[in-house]
Amino acid sequence: MTTKLSQLKQDFTEGLSQISRFWGFPKGMGAIFAVLYLSPAPLPLDEIVTQTGLTKGAVSTEVRTLARMGLVHRSSRLGDRKDYYEAESDFYKSIRSILKERQNSEFDRAVRSVQETLEKLESGSVSGDEAEVAFVHERVKALQEFFNAIDNLASAVIKLESLGFRNVAKILSVLK
C-alpha cells in the first residue's frame, strides 16, 4: 500500500497541529510550521494560506509570532514584494530562542511578583500570627529558590550555543 506524498504531508501537519495545541499554542500555528518545515523552498504568505486553509489574516499574525519565537524566518527577494517564510530547522536554536522570548513575558512578571512577596516578608513588615508568618516566609522562599533554579537552567541552556542536543543528553546520562 503506497501513500501519496501530499497525503503524508497532511497527516504530518495534523500531528504537529495537535502537538502545538498540547503546548498551549493555537493549532493553526502548528499547521503553519509544519507546512513550512516540509517545504524545500521558502513560501509566500498566500501559499501558506492555501496549504493550511486558514485565512490571510490568521496566517499573517501567527507567522509573526512564530518569527518572534525564532521558529520561522521571514525573507524577501529583490524586485518581489512578497515576503517569504521558511522554517528554522535547527530545533536547538529554536529552543534557545523560545527560552529567551519567555524571559520578557507575562511569566516573568508573575515570578517577579513572588519576589516582591518575599521581600515584604524579609523586611519584617508583615503583620499576623507570628508562627504562620514564619511558615509562609519559608514556603515563599522555597518557591523563589525553585524559580531561580529553573532560571539558571534556562540560562545555561541558552548559553550552550555550540552544543547539540545529543551532547546535552550524553552529559545528563552520566548522572543516571
Partner DNA sequence: TAGAACGTTTAGTAATTACTAAACGCAGTA
Partner DNA sequence: TACTGCGTTTAGTAATTACTAAACGTTCTA
- For 130, the grid coordinates are 507570628
For residues 39 to 78, the per-residue mask of contacts with a copy of itself, x marking binding by CB under 8 A and - elsewhere, is -x--------------------------------------
> Does the protein bind a copy of itself through residue 93 (CB under 8 A)?
no
Q: How far is CA 80 from CA 40, 61, 75, 77, 142, in A?
A: 19, 21, 11, 5, 56
- DSSP line for 85-123: EEE---HHHHHHHHHHHHHTSHHHHHHHHHHHHHHHHHT
CA distance 156 to 21: 27
Q: Which of 10, 39, 60, 117 binds DNA (CB under 7 A)?
A: 60
Q: Measured from the CB atom, is 78 or 172 closer to a copy of itself?
A: 172
Partner whose binding site includes residue 129, from DNA, a copy of itself, none (CB under 5 to 8 Å by kind): a copy of itself
Nearer to DNA, 75 or 123 (CB): 75
Task: Out of 7, 8, 46, 145, point to the residue binding DNA (CB under 7 A).
Answer: 46
Q: In whole angstroms, how large is the CA radius of gyration of the chain?
A: 22
Of 3 and 75, which CB lies nearer to a copy of itself in the complex structure? 3
Q: Does 101 bind a copy of itself (CB under 8 A)?
A: no
**Residues binding DNA (CB under 7 A):** 21, 24-29, 44-46, 53-58, 60-64, 79, 81-83
